[in-house]
């Protein structure tokens, strides 16, 4: 008896109204059962209240489940990548169209295929350009066609959905930047109520919705969409037409909606996330171009420490000091960099030096040509230079060796002392050995050139600390072998 009573969908007042409106035939089966079981009006009311409480408990469970779904979506947000906020995320989606109730429907009850009317309102938030969620509110009107039993019913729903921007995932914007595609799906609560030929009680049920939404962007603020959605129901008690009972209360109800509408985008950004594109390959290409430009701009062809893009003189000699525009420092304005001048002054005799050495110059005592050469050798104008950590004389120093060879041959009684030096890079012990080997190398070249070894002596004097060890040019001047002739 109780199972039957919980399936009764009408209160005592509604049953009386049916009798008054001469609609007994539709409900003869229910009335006969009531008479056979000898159920009083009070019992009907009592068990109707029991059924109402059961429905309220169902609604509480559905609402709790909806909030749990919201929490799950919120939790999922915390694990997604941070995305740029240079696009809008909120939108209002308004649509309307046709509907088709598939099942359950009463025998002899038909609707047009498809039939008007259904409407839909969505409030959507996109977490990023690929995923978001939507609160969806819908209304459907079901009415009979000309070949059907008369009926009219109303259907309301609210659904919480996840939304996927499938257009971005599949690269639809590459086909055309005004085409989009959304996929959506979720669950919620629905209410169905018959209004004609009789008002039925509210039938609350759980709904599950899934759909596809193609889009065409009209502007950065509005897009046109079409939507096809399928809704399934759990615990549906009455048919969509309101004329009878549903045969099953499991996952059996099904409804199809087709809509056309507008996406109205909210926010101050230039574009909504539906249309925001982040082309990874394009970004890589742009970044590569930027890096190549930086590599060109910051290159330093003349190795003076000033990048090309601000270097006014990109042909300065390596090691020459420059100003902040890459120009060689020339304080005396003679068009020769000062560092090159000082290096030449330390390596070669100037015209003034030679003039002062000539016989009778400036009133000085006369000096022979041999005396001039001896003075040049002994005062450090004739030196043999070496590359870093090398005992092989530099090619430009062969002239200095030849000068000593010629002098020794022209002066058979002369003797010479060769002294080697190294710069300050490296340990003192290593540099002492290096300076010895440099002096020995020049000694061997002189002997091989015809100078008797008995007229030569050599030694290494280690490091020469007379120059700035941080200057590569200055260090080159002390990597040498000097001569002293007697």
Q: Last residue of a domain, which of 347, 364, 399? A: 347
310 and 263 together in one domain: no
Look at residues 347, 370, 396 and tell me which one is the last residue of a structural domain: 347
Among the candidates 248, 278, 308, a domain finishes at 278
Full domain range(s) for residue 48: 1-79
Q: Which of the residues in the chain have pLDDT under 50?
A: 1-10, 22-48, 75-76, 78-84, 361-364
Residues 183 and 170 in one domain: yes
- 387 and 318, same structural domain? no
Within this chain, do residues 28 and 91 fall inside the same structural domain, yes or no? no
Each residue's pLDDT tens digit, 435-449: 999 999 999 999 999
Whether residue 97 sits in one domain with residue 4: no
Q: How many domains does the chain have?
A: 4
**Chain segment 241-267, per-residue pLDDT in tens:** 989 888 877 788 899 999 999 999 999
Whether residues 140 and 255 share a domain: the answer is yes
Residue 365 lies in a domain: no
Give yes or no: residues 171 and 211 share one domain: yes
Judge if 319 and 302 occupy the same domain: yes
pTM above 0.85, yes or no: no
407, 451: one domain: yes
Domain co-membership, 470 together with 412? yes
What would the 3-class secondary structure string for the chain be?
Answer: CHHHHHHCCCCHHHHHHHHHCCCHHHHHHHHHHHHHCCCCHHHHHHHHHHHHHHHHHHHHHHHHHHHHHHHHHHHHHCCCCCCCCCCECEEEEEEEEEEEEEECCCCCCCCCCCEEEEEEEEEEEECCCCEEEEEEEEEEEEECCCCCCCCEEEEEEEEEEEEEEHHHHHCHHHHCCCEEEEEEEEEEEEEEEEEECCCCCCEEEEEEEEEEEEEEECCCCEEEEEEEEEEEEECCCECCCCCCECCCCCEEEEEEEEEEEEEEEECCCCCECCCCCCCHHHHHHHHHHHHHHHHHHCCCCCCCCCCHHHCCCCCCCCCCCECCCCCECCCCCCCCCHHHHHHHHHHCCCHHHHHHHCCCHHHCCCCCHHHHHHHHHHCCCCEEEECCCCCCECHHHHHHHHHHHHHHHHCCCCCEEEEEEECCCCCHHHHHHHHHHHHHHHHHHHHHCCCCHHHEEEEEEEECCCCCCCCHHHHHHHCEEEEEEC
For residue 291, is it within any domain?
yes
Instruction: Quote the pLDDT of residue 313.
Output: 80
- Residues 204, 153, single domain; the answer is yes
CATH classification at residue 137: 2.40.160.20
Within-domain flag for 353 = no
pLDDT value for 357: 56
């Amino acid at each position: 008896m109780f199972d039957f009573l919980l399936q009764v969908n009408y209160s005592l007042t509604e049953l009386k109204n049916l009798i008054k409106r001469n609609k007994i035939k539709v409900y003869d089966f229910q009335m006969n059962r009531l008479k056979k079981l000898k159920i009083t009006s009070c019992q009907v009311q009592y068990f109707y209240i029991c059924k109402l409480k059961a429905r309220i408990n169902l609604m509480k469970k559905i609402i709790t489940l909806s909030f749990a779904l919201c929490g799950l979506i919120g939790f999922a947000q915390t694990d997604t990548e941070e995305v740029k906020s240079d696009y809008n995320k909120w939108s209002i989606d308004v649509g309307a169209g046709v509907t088709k109730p598939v099942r359950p429907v009463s025998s002899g009850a038909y609707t047009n295929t498809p039939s008007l009317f259904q409407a839909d309102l969505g409030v959507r938030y996109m977490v990023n350009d690929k995923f978001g969620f939507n609160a969806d509110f819908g209304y459907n009107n079901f009415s009979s066609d000309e070949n059907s039993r008369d009926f009219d019913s109303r259907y309301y729903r609210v659904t919480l959905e996840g939304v996927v921007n499938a257009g971005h995932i599949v690269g639809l914007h590459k086909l055309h930047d005004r085409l989009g595609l959304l996929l959506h799906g979720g669950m919620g609560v629905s209410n169905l109520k018959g209004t004609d030929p009789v008002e039925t009680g509210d039938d609350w049920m759980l709904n599950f919705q899934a759909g596809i939404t193609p889009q065409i962007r009209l502007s950065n603020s509005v897009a046109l969409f079409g939507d096809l959605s399928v809704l399934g129901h759990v615990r549906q008690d009455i048919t969509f037409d309101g004329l009878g009972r549903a045969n099953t209360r499991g996952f059996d109800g099904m409804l199809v909606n087709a809509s056309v509408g507008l996406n109205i985008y909210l926010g101050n950004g230039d574009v909504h996330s539906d249309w925001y594109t982040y082309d990874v390959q394009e970004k890589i290409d742009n970044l590569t171009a930027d890096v190549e430009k930086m590599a060109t701009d910051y290159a330093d062809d003349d190795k003076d420490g000033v990048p090309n893009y601000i270097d006014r003189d990109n042909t300065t000699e390596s090691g020459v000091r420059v100003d902040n525009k890459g120009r060689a420092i020339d304080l005396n304005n003679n068009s020769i960099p000062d560092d090159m001048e000082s290096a030449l002054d330390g390596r070669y005799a100037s015209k003034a030096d030679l003039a002062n050495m000539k016989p009778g110059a400036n009133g000085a005592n006369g000096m022979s040509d041999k005396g001039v050469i001896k003075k040049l050798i002994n005062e450090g104008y004739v030196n043999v230079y070496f590359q870093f950590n090398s005992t092989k004389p530099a090619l430009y120093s062969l002239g200095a060796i030849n000068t000593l060879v010629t002098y020794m041959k022209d002066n058979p009684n002369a003797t010479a002392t060769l002294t080697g030096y190294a710069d300050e890079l490296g340990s003192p012990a290593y540099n002492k050995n290096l300076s010895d080997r440099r002096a020995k190398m020049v000694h061997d070249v002189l002997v091989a050139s015809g100078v008797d070894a008995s007229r030569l002596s050599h030694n290494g004097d280690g490091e020469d600390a007379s120059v700035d060890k941080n200057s590569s040019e200055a260090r080159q001047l002390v990597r040498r072998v000097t001569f002293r002739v007697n």
